[in-house]
Chain A
């Protein structure tokens, strides 16, 4: 452990004031009760946690995890080849590739999501184009479907996956690839045994970033999904606002954070142990 220095003080104060204390407050609220008007009642209760185990909320949580896992996998499958291509291209293409991946961040996220509405709606660009081409005669209902939600999620979070993987591929030791090819390994074999294990950290970072961001997202389900499917984050939001049930909202937030941490921990462990096994085996 390094000793704490004065220079760490602002960060420590920042973390304590704006992370630790708020989390403690949320934990505290989750064990309270509410009165008829939604005011907090200061008596200890586990009711909010018990409510979560209602099949209704458990089911919504499972749906949320499922959507997040699918989004993460699709992002990974799309991003790895792209990051691989960019990292192995000429410096000029690398620069442009990274700029193009990050350009969407320059535009407000809400505006980008509404842009999808303009594209996908029944009188939108895509439908008009397909009708003009004569491929369809009636507009297809693309917006306000589960597919639109998945598309919006993947679109939003692909950059979160590309960037860490790009960094990992960029930094790997390429002499190993030369060695592998000298020793007669095919390109595919070299990729499986050298590139993939060496870029594991990038994959892990990307997956965690995408997974956590997706589980916390409620704007995409509202705008592109027509607010028809409830995600856990939508429920949390409504507990703090419309339903005025802060203890339940707080309990859901805590459960959400804890289970996400456990899942991420298990995921890391699985990746690490496979990595170690692979190293020891060869």
Chain B
């Protein structure tokens, strides 16, 4: 009796799953990406052009993405990991090699984003958008010339400094300020960098990644470490905001297209990547989402306003001062520990 009930229940669950998952006969491209990462019309155009359906799920950080893909059976065909996560996923054998024959528009990508250190030869990934963690500041309150990370330590901004809530970004920034690599694995250098950050702590208003934009727009913070794309967004809302890539150099990051191992619709995903790299589609998409466009052929289709925005289109000179974060292996535990020390104000 008992067993019968249970079997019945299981049967119903399986039946419901089958019914719910088999709704559409059109092929479905399952995308797993950041929220609001595409222009909706561009996605709809793709659906109509190829008679397919796009299913778009979102994650909030790379670690959620990793956990889901690692668990297997996620059913996603296209994901958008950041640079260091591409490296981690390659090491863990979680990505499919891309077939470039299906992506001829790869040629449109700017040279800066070809052959990146985290994926030599673009075997597994293609850049979708990128930016640099620089300094954003509010000209109303910050009157000095800002061109160095040292400026964050200026006592006039005490209590008004914002930092990203991310140990690699912030410790990497302090390492850069001292002239080291942002991905140092040298214990002495890392300790020295965190020592500098401990001196900065009394000036820090808050650590924040997701809502740092609001804090700058509302003028709660006057100066802080901000991603260039976010800076462009903030400046559009509050014209007093300026942004610089400090002279000591800074961290560059990217979000990428990649295909998880065993994806059911690999070819469709490649078709999608190629479509997105079409110059006109590309212009339409990035114009709408406001991030920087790595597509060189798309520039002529972009509006003047977009092309003249120096926070979206960083100069070669600025880009030449940047460095990718790379996987630091077991040293990550040291970063984590020192970060905890820093934030809890303990030794």
Contacts and interface: CB of A to CB of B under 8 A. Distances in A.
Contacts of B159: 141
A238 interface: yes
Contacts of A144: 205-206
Contact of A245 (B61, B67, B336, B341): B336
A56 B336 CA distance: 12
A36 interface: yes
Nearest to A9: B2
B287 interface: no
Given A56-B341, A244-B332, A245-B336, A227 B206 contact: yes
Interface in A246-262: none
Interface residues of A, number: 33
A229 B92 contact: no
B199 interface: no
Contacts of B63: 240-242, 244
Interface string A118-156: 000111000000000000000001011000000000000
Given A241-B63, A242-B63, A235 B340 contact: yes
Contacts of B344: 56, 59-60, 63, 229-230
A122 B206 contact: no
B1 to A, nearest CB: 8
A112 interface: no
A39 interface: yes
7 contacts: A39-B92, A56-B347, A121-B218, A122-B219, A228-B343, A230-B340, A241-B61
A181 interface: no
A140 B300 CA distance: 49
Contact of A230 (B61, B64, B343): B343
Contacts of A222: 165, 208
Interface of B: 2, 61, 63-64, 67, 88, 91-92, 159, 165-167, 204-208, 211, 218-220, 329-330, 332-333, 336-337, 340-341, 343-347
A243 interface: yes
Contact of A143 (B220, B336, B345): B220
Contact of A226 (B92, B207, B345): B207
A80 to B, nearest CB: 33
B333 A243 contact: yes
Nearest to A235: B340
A242 B207 contact: no
A226 B2 CA distance: 53
Nearest to A35: B330
B208 A60 contact: no
Interface string A50-85: 000001110110010000000000000000000000
Which of B64, B218, B220, B333 has the largest number of chain A CB atoms within 10 A?
B220
A226 B219 CA distance: 15
Given A122-B220, A228-B206, A242 B336 contact: yes
Contacts of B220: 121-123, 143
B203 to A, nearest CB: 12
B2 A6 contact: yes
A141 B203 CA distance: 13
B343 A56 contact: no
Nearest to A223: B211
| 8 shortest interchain CB distances as A-B pairs | A226-B206, A241-B63, A227-B207, A243-B336, A230-B344, A144-B206, A36-B329, A230-B343
Given A39-B92, A56-B344, A228-B206, 19 more contacts: A9-B2, A37-B92, A56-B337, A56-B341, A56-B347, A60-B340, A121-B218, A123-B219, A141-B205, A144-B206, A226-B208, A228-B343, A229-B345, A235-B340, A238-B336, A241-B61, A241-B63, A241-B64, A244-B63
Contact of A228 (B166, B207, B336, B346): B207
Nearest to A143: B220
A245 to B, nearest CB: 7
Contacts of B204: 226, 228
Which of A121, A226, A227 has the largest number of chain B CB atoms within 10 A?
A226
Which of A121, A123, A230 has the largest number of chain B CB atoms within 10 A?
A230
A59 B346 contact: yes
B343 A229 contact: yes
Contact of A60 (B67, B218, B346): B346
Given A144-B206, A226-B206, A226-B207, A36 B343 contact: no
B240 to A, nearest CB: 13
Contacts of A57: 340
A55 to B, nearest CB: 8
A227 B346 contact: no
Contacts of B205: 141, 144, 226
A222 B165 CA distance: 9
Nearest to A229: B344
A4 B195 CA distance: 61
Interface in A179-201: none
Nearest to B341: A56
Given A37-B88, A56-B346, A227 B336 contact: no
Contacts of A229: 343-345
A23 to B, nearest CB: 19
Nearest to B159: A141
Contact of A227 (B165, B330, B347): B165
Nearest to A124: B218
A37 B206 contact: no
A63 B344 CA distance: 9
A153 to B, nearest CB: 17
A243 B92 CA distance: 16
